[in-house]
Amino acid sequence: MSSFQQLFSSKRRPQVSCESCSLGRLCIPQGLSEQEVELVSRIVTINRTLGKGDYLYHSGEWFHRFLALKSGTVKLVTLDGAGNEYVVDFVMPGELLGFDGLSGERYTCSAIALETVSYCELPPHQLERLGREIPKLSQILLQLSGSQFQLGIQRVVLSRRQADERLAAFLAHLSERHRKRGFSPTEFRLSMTRQEIGNYLGLAPETVSRLMSQFEASGLIVVQGKMVRILDMDGLLRFCPQ
Amino acid sequence: MSSFQQLFSSKRRPQVSCESCSLGRLCIPQGLSEQEVELVSRIVTINRTLGKGDYLYHSGEWFHRFLALKSGTVKLVTLDGAGNEYVVDFVMPGELLGFDGLSGERYTCSAIALETVSYCELPPHQLERLGREIPKLSQILLQLSGSQFQLGIQRVVLSRRQADERLAAFLAHLSERHRKRGFSPTEFRLSMTRQEIGNYLGLAPETVSRLMSQFEASGLIVVQGKMVRILDMDGLLRFCPQ
DNA sequence: CGGTCCCTTGAGTGCAATCAAGTGGAGTGG
DNA sequence: CCACTCCACTTGATTGCACTCAAGGGACCG
């Protein structure tokens, strides 16, 4: 079914461009002039669609494109020699995928759709070429890459904290990202399983579940399956130092 | 004493350039032509020196330069609201510092010398300007930034593993980095304390100490204070999956 | 020679993992 | 439409790894 979707969208290739994309202020166009965005628009392949569980790219595959997520959520995972999966990041609309291919010639992670996703493709070589004409573009790309490093630092700090602080910070971070995208920061759906949250936070899924119940008992949140409502954001933030 | 060193080196500004630097193949010059390296050389301030415990830059300071480490070791640390220190990375000669300033306008980490260090300075604005003339330079910078992301992924994987595996991987990684720099991969000095190793690995210093003794008892390594000799590299690597 | 800091080793504790059982909800097929 | 199945989630009981607390030893520096 999803391969059908892919085929369908490849053929259709609707002519919507970056100028009209509502995610521009989060994505590459941030800080580019209208004219420059138009140039970027030309090298972008737009509106591909994939279903839940589909791979946007595989670890080990040649790094041949950045992806700009338009809708849906993606998990970025890497594997060790024993086949264990490690969730490296969750990616939301307006964010770029592919930084794990930047240092070598191949991706080191796999990007997997957690629900139906749509995205644009940006060939790195063309981005690079365009970067010579638009210096600001190179700068933005470097800055976005720097943000990834920054996220890594945040994770280092988080990984040293107690289980409840990690989960509270995770929920607060999700809330903030929903807010930035114009969605409710207090009520949203978790697109990932408890297992995946636990993997991401370095916790057992049972621990995640227990903490959710604990937060609910404390009156901080209400949980109903994948839906979460935050009742007491301040209380949640009190768990997160910094 | 160290401020004296700094003053001294600032005045002297010896005219050694990137072309003659032995660390070129690890540092920025990798993949640049002789002519291009010459251009980079011109914007580099070379051979500053600092003593143990001195700051190369402070968290919160304006991001006004990349640093290329020439000798010595540096720890990159960040602080949380409670003043807890988190060791984000250890930096060795030939590696760049300053990626933590890339995403914003200020450094988010402090860079602290673990022993006497010497380094070069590269102003980001001039690097950026030069990047327009030398596209390869922008590419290298982006690639180096990507390597930082890659290191972050490695850490994610490592942080989920047992204490002994973390320490074994740490020692193996250090060994490899010494080898790449032409030093003995089997015998080297730890420039950081057990406390700092523990902080970096997410372990208590006592645990690091205990594991060192354990590795020694197993015949994997010999430890004498800060000196480490690796007797059985394969045995050490057997701890590290992947 | 004294002081300080770092390291080592021991004893006890606690937090989160593991093991195990049971519940609930979404999707499927009869 | 309902029963069935599967998978995710929840909750409980137990275990174990690494932390904390504590004390002693050793190296370096003034």
Please compute the mean of the pLDDT values over residues B62-68 and round it to a whole number.
96
Report residue A69's pLDDT band, with 50, 70 and 90 as the boundaries. Answer: very high
Q: What secondary structure does DSSP assign to A99-122, as a single string?
A: GGGSSSSB-SSEEEESS-EEEEEE
Q: What are phi and psi of B201, to 5 degrees?
A: -90, -5
Instruction: Summarize the confidence of residues B53-62 as an average pLDDT.
Output: 95
Q: What is the pLDDT of residue B223?
A: 96
Residues 105-144 of B with CB under 8 A from A: 108-109, 128, 131-132, 135, 138-139, 141-144
Nearest residue by alpha-carbon distance to C1' of C6: B193
Mean pLDDT of B73-95: 94
| Residue recorded with tokens 């003659």 | B20
Q: Is pLDDT at B66 greater than 50 in this prediction? A: yes
Give the whole-number percent of chain A exceeding pLDDT 90: 78
Q: Which domains does chain A have, with CATH numbers?
A: 2-157 (2.60.120.10), 162-237 (1.10.10.10)
A 10 A CB-CB count for B169 gives 22
- Given strand B74-79, what is the order of strands in its sheet? B55-57, B110-113, B74-79, B85-91
d(CA A239, CA A169): 7
**The pLDDT value given to residue A25:** 84
CB of A163 lies under 7 Å from some atom of strand C: yes
Within 8 A of B152 by CB-CB distance, chain A residues are: 148-149, 151-152, 155
The amino acid at residue A51 is G
Residue A148 pLDDT exceeds 70: yes
> A70-115 pLDDT, tens per residue?
999 999 999 988 889 999 999 999 999 999 999 999 999 999 999 9
Amino acid at B76: L
Interface check for A81 against chain B (CB to CB < 8 A): the answer is yes
Are A98 and A65 in contact by the 8 Å Cβ rule? The answer is: yes
- In the prediction, which pLDDT does B18 show? 85
Token match 């759906």: residue? A189
Q: Is B20's pLDDT higher than 90? A: no
Average pLDDT over residues A201-214: 98
Residue B7 pLDDT exceeds 60: no
Q: What is the pLDDT of residue A6?
A: 43
Q: Is the dihedral of CA A93, A94, A98, A100 positive or negative?
A: negative
- Span A132-157, average pLDDT: 93
Using the predicted structure, report yes or no on whether residue B120 has a pLDDT greater than 60.
yes
**How sure is the predictor about A11, in pLDDT bands with cuts at 50, 70 and 90?**
very low
Radius of gyration of chain B measured on its C-alpha atoms: 19
Residue B158 CB in 7 A reach of strand D: no
Q: State the pLDDT at residue B8.
A: 42
CB atoms within 10 A of CB A225: 7
Contact status, residue A158 vs residue A169, Cβ threshold 8 Å: yes
Average pLDDT, chain A: 90
- Res. A52: pLDDT tops 50: yes
Q: What is the DSSP letter of A98?
A: -
CB atoms within 10 A of CB B224: 8
CB contacts of B146 in chain A (<8 Å) are 99-103, 145
The tally of CA atoms less than 13 A away on the side-chain side of residue B49 is 13
Does pLDDT of A50 surpass 60? yes
Confidence (pLDDT) at B239: 87
Work out the average pLDDT over B58-74.
95
Kindly tell me if the per-residue pLDDT of B42 is higher than 50. Answer: yes
Using a 10 angstrom Cβ sphere, with 0-12 exposed, 13-18 middle and 19 or more buried, the burial of residue A210 is: middle
A113 exposure class (CB count in 10 Å sphere: 0-12, 13-18, 19+): buried
Summarised one tens digit per residue, pLDDT across range A26-43 is 889 988 888 999 999 999
Q: How high is the mean pLDDT of chain B? A: 90
pLDDT tier for residue A16 given thresholds of 50, 70 and 90? low
The whole-number average pLDDT for the span B110-125 is: 95
Q: Is residue A8 over pLDDT 60?
A: no
Residue pointed to by tokens 């933030």: A237
Min CA distance, B226 vs chain A (Å)?
25
